Every structure is written in C-alpha cells, then in structure tokens.
Amino acid sequence: MAYSVTTQTPASRIAAIAGVILISLLIALPFFAGRGTIQDMFFILTMLVLAQFWNLLAGYGGLVSIGQQAFVGTGAYALFGVVILWGVDPVPAIFCAGIAALVIAVPTAFFAFRLNGAYFAIGTWVIAEVVRLLVAQWKMLGGGTGTSLPRDATRDMWFIESIESTLGLRSAAARDVLAYWLALVLALATIGGIYWLLRTRRGLALAAVRDNTEAAKSVGVDAGRMKWIVFLTSAFGTGLAGGLIYMQKARISPDAAFSVTDWTAYVIFIVVIGGIGTIEGPIIGVLVFFALQTLLADFGSWYLMTLGVLAVVVMLVAPRGLWGLLSEQTGLHLFPIRRRLTGGKLASSEE
C-alpha cells in the first residue's frame, strides 16, 4: 500500500554516472590540456552560466528580459570598483559582483514587474541602458573610456602562486587556470542549483505558473514571489558571471560591459537554439554557438549574418530548439524533474 516517489529514470542514472566522470575530467583538464583549450572552456562555461540564468528567467519564469547586460555590466564594474578602489583581491571580489547585481536588480524588478510581455522586455532594455549611461559617468573608473585592472592585483590573486607551482605555469597561464576553475565551479553550481530549485516545490510552482497562472494562484502558489525569486536569482548569478568574465579580461569599458549583443542577444540565441525551458538546452546551445564562432568568426560580417539567419530559421523550424527536437523523439531527459508516483495501487500496473 505504501507509495513512494522517484524522479530518476534509467537514462538519468546513466547520465548521472557520465556526469560524474565528465566533471572529474573537467576538473583535471588543466593538468593535460593546453591554454587554448582552457580559454575556450572558460568562454563556454561562462556563456553557459549566462544562458542558464536567462533560461531560468524566460524559460521557467516567463520573464523575457533583454536587459541582462545590466547585471553583467554591474557585476563587472563592481569587481573593478572594489579591486581598484578598495584593493580587494579579485577572487573574493567576484562575490561582490553578484551582490552588486542583486542590489541593482531590486529597483529594476520593482519597475519592470509593473510591465508585461513586450513592455517588460523593452523596459528591461531601457533600464540596462540607464545603468550603462550612469556607469559611464563614473569618472573614478574611467567614465566612457573604461579602465584596466592593475597588474599587481591580477598577478597576486589568491591561489595563483600555488597553481603556478603545482602546474609549473607562467603567471598568465595560471590565471587562466584559476579563472577556468572558478567558471567551472560557477557553472556546476548554477546547473546544480537550478536543478535543485526545479526539484523543490518552488520548481513545481514555477511550472504551474507557467502552465496556468490563474489556477496556480488558486491553489496557493505565490506567483508574484516566484517572479521575484527567479529575477533576483538570475541577476545574482549573471552578476557573478559578469565579474568573473571581466576579471579574466582585465579591461572594461561601459560599451563592452553593457553590450546588449554580447551579453543578452547571444545568450538568447544560445538558449533558443538549444531549447528553452530545459537545463539541457543551454548546454547544447552553447556548444553549437562555440562551434559556429570557431568555424566562422574570421569571416567577420558573414559570420554575424549567418548567426542572424540561423536564429530566424531555428525559431521557425524548431521553436523548442535542438534539445526539444531530440527529447521529443526519444523521450530522453538528462535532468529529470518529473516526480513519478510508484507503489500502492500503482505497483501492479505501471502505466
């Protein structure tokens, strides 16, 4: 008579084992891979983090924002601010980047939540512009010119020395490895965190709100609070990623840090190509995006034109993205969240 609930499937168990192997490989990567690979992986991982958070926002929370660059930029500038002006080490400064993005997100949400649909999208864009213009007035960090991280700060970062000695690397390469490991931690925490969220009752509520907001409210789901949680979480995560990305770049300017193309448009592209509303989608999407960039980036405007056309084609042909296509065909889920009731009267006849 006793019932139990499981979310695992045979496929997910295999995926979990493969995941553990993959993660171990990724952690050990700096020991055998060249710098080029490490840097490519850094790019992939940070874009993946941005994509996962935008996906959380739009795919799960229904909040289509085109202003994520506000949080990347705020995080990045906060990192430069505390490093340059207060002399904080860049590694802990990444945390400040997240906090700063969170702080900006509160008034942004207060304003943007008054708007719906397309208005929300454009509202977030305008707010990002406002933040960009305000930061461009911040003379201490170079105003519209931008600024660079002091060399002393980047040379003596936490962990650098031990990485240098353990792996026998020059300091620039050691910095890459450190940034890569931080990005790996951030990406794993992001995916793990989002997966965990989706498996809690809040995740269930998110899905319910997405399916039918009125009905969700009527069974006690606080749809308004869900929006806040999702928005603030993704702002925080996006800010962390922004801080990390610019720690690695070591040079910042408002136009770069608040670029709508780099930090929102490409991210949307990644999510939509891969499959919105799934954890797997952004992972696939970022790989496709990276492959395209590697193959085509040297063709300049042709590359961008291809990207634009591809976005149009995917949206029309496979609106649920590549992963959507795949999982429709195979029923495969690497991150299953469906709770299956078993036992009791279901024991004999599984549907």
Partner 1 sequence: MSILSLKSVSKSFGALTVTDDASFDVLQGQALGIIGPNGAGKSTLFNLITGNVRADGGSIHFEGRDVTRASAMERCLIGIGRSFQIPQPFEKLTVYENLLVAATHGRNLSEAIVRDDCADILERTELIRRANVPAGRLSLLERKRLELARAMATQPKLLLLDEIAGGLTEGECQALIRTIKDIHARGVTIIWIEHVLHALTSVVERLLVLDFGKVIGLGDPEEIMASREVQEIYLGIEV
Partner 2 sequence: APSIAQGAKIRLGYVSPQSGPLAAFSDADQFIIDGFLKSEAGANFEVIVKDSQSNPNRAAEVAKELIVDDEIDMMLVASTPETTNPVATTCEAEEIPVISTVAPWQPYFIGQQGNPGDPDSWRPFDYSFHFFWGLEDVISTFTSMWNQLDTNKSVGAIFPNDGDGNAWGDPNVGFPPVLAGKGYSLTDTGRYQNLTDDFSAQINAFKAANCDIVTGVPIPPDFTTFWTQAKQQGFNPKVASIGKAILFPQAVEALGDQGHNLSSEVWWSPTHPFTSSITKQSAGELASRYSSATGNQWTQPIGFVHALFEMAADVMGRVDDSRNPDEVAAAIAATQLNSIVGRIAFDGIGLPPFVAANVAKTPLVGGQWRMREDGSYDLVIVDNSDHPDIPTNGTMEEIS
Partner 3 sequence: MIWVDTVIQGILLGGLYALFASGLSLVFGIMRLVNLAHGDLIVMGAYLILVLVTILGLSPFLAALIAMPVMFCLGWVLQKFLLNRTLGDDILPPLLVTFGLSIALQNALLETFSADSQRLPTSALTTASVQAGPVSLGVMPLLTFGSAILVIVALNQLFYRTELGRAFRATSDDPTTASLMGIKPANIFATATGIAFVIVTIAALYLGLRANFDPNIGPARLIYAFQAVIIGGLGSLWGTLLGGVIIGVAQTLGAAINPEWQILAGHFAFLLVLLVRPRGLFPRAND
Backbone angles phi, psi at 113, to 5 degrees: -70, -10
Smallest distance, partner 1 to C-beta of residue 326, A:
18
Number of residues that bind partner 2 (CB under 8 A): 46
Decide: is 140 part of the binding site for partner 3 (CB under 8 A).
no
The tokens of 91 are what?
A: 């590694």
Among partner 1, partner 2, partner 3, none, what does residue 104 contact (CB within 5–8 Å per kind)? Answer: none
Kind of pairing between the strands at 340-343 and 251-252:
unpaired
Q: Provide the 3-class DSSP secondary structure of residue 237.
A: helix
Smallest distance, partner 2 to C-beta of residue 154, A:
6
Smallest distance, partner 2 to C-beta of residue 91, A:
16
Smallest distance, partner 1 to C-beta of residue 203, A:
10
For residue 147, give the amino acid letter.
T
Decide: is 195 part of the binding site for partner 3 (CB under 8 A).
no
Decide: is 115 part of the binding site for partner 3 (CB under 8 A).
yes
From the list 211, 214, 298, 350, which residue makes contact with partner 2 (rule: CB under 8 A)? 298
From the list 160, 226, 257, 268, which residue makes contact with partner 3 (rule: CB under 8 A)? 268
Among candidates 125, 102, 123, 127, which has minimal Cα distance to 114? 123
Residue closer to partner 3 (CB basis): 124 or 248: 124
From the list 99, 265, 292, 332, which residue makes contact with partner 3 (rule: CB under 8 A)? 265
Q: What's the angle, vertex CA 152, arms to CA 78 and CA 27, rounded to 5? A: 75
Site string for partner 2, 9-28 (x = CB under 8 A): --------------------
CA distance 242 to 249: 10
From the list 65, 154, 233, 234, which residue makes contact with partner 2 (rule: CB under 8 A)? 154
Pair 247, 99: CB distance under 8 Å: no
Pair 79, 246: CB distance under 8 Å: yes
DSSP 59: I
Decide: is 211 part of the binding site for partner 3 (CB under 8 A).
no
Residue closer to partner 3 (CB basis): 7 or 306: 306
Among partner 1, partner 3, partner 2, none, what does residue 317 contact (CB within 5–8 Å per kind)? Answer: none
**Which positions ≥6 away from 258 have C-beta within 8 Å?**
69, 70, 72, 73, 128, 129, 131, 132, 135
Decide: is 161 part of the binding site for partner 2 (CB under 8 A).
no
Strand partners, 251: 148
Question: Which range binds partner 3 by CB under 8 A, 149-157, 172-180, 257-265, 288-296?
Answer: 257-265
Binders of partner 3 among residues 32 to 61 (CB under 8 A) are 58
From the list 204, 223, 232, 250, which residue makes contact with partner 2 (rule: CB under 8 A)? 250
* Number of helical (H) and strand (E) elements in the chain, helices listed first: 17, 4
Site residues (CB under 8 A) for partner 1? Answer: 2-5, 200-201, 204-205, 207-208, 210-212, 214-223, 338-341, 344-346, 349, 351
Pair 135, 255: CB distance under 8 Å: no
DSSP 58: I
CB-count exposure of residue 297 (10 Å: 0-12, 13-18, 19+): exposed
CA distance 332 to 79: 40
Binders of partner 3 among residues 84 to 103 (CB under 8 A) are none
Decide: is 22 part of the binding site for partner 3 (CB under 8 A).
no
The tokens of 317 are what?
A: 């042909």
Chain residues that interact with partner 2, rule: CB under 8 A? 34-36, 39, 43, 80, 83-85, 133, 136-137, 139-154, 170-172, 175-176, 249-251, 253, 255-256, 259, 261-262, 298, 300-301, 304
